[in-house]
Amino acid sequence: MKIKTSAKRVVKTSAMKRKLNTQLKKQVRVKNTTSGTVRSTGVLKKNPSTTFAHTEVMNRRSSPITATVMVFNWDTNSPVRIGNNTVTIPANSLRFFNTNLAGVNDHYEVVVILSATSNVIVNHFGVAGDVPQDGNIVLDRDLISITL
């Protein structure tokens, strides 16, 4: 069975981007990051059946990495953080993160901050139970690099 990636993104204004970047810097205490270490799903239109934001980070490197996965509710047109997890991912291993989307009616975003990006794969699935939901799947190749 082939899963379609039909993530619908809402365009952010420059003011919204500045506000998000300021909030991200404060929350993860990041002053500057190198290109490619902060990746975003963009704002997703939540499938009505989606109950959890499920994000997987696979480290194929020969050394550990640090990953921070944050989830934002965009229903008020401003980001409200509803999930924030930071873990060390050992070499050649997978970690996943689940954030309950019960308070999200329409729009959410997942932001992943990685200490390294080569040989690291990130995929996001909005799920109901263990079933990925149409429109809430963003694979590694579809993530957007953002700068803090």
Please tell me the predicted confidence (pLDDT) of residue 27.
57
DSSP secondary structure, 49-80, as one string: T--EEEEEEEE-SSS-EEEEEEEEE-TTSS-E
What six digits make up the tokens of 26? Answer: 């404060």
pLDDT at 8 over 60: no
Summarised one tens digit per residue, pLDDT across range 58-114 is 999 999 999 999 999 999 999 999 999 999 999 999 999 999 999 999 999 999 999
Q: Which one, of 92, 106, 99, 107, lies nearest residue 125 by Cα?
A: 99
Residues 6+ apart with CB under 8 A from 144: 39, 40, 41, 42
pLDDT, position 56: 98
Tell me, what's the pLDDT at 147?
Answer: 80
34 vs 127, more confident: 127
Q: Are 120 and 59 in contact (CB under 8 A)?
A: yes
Type of residue at 54: H
Q: What is the pLDDT of residue 25?
A: 62
Percent of all residues in the chain with a pLDDT value above 70, rounded to a whole number: 75
CA dihedral of residues 117, 115, 144, 79 (deg, nearest 10): 160
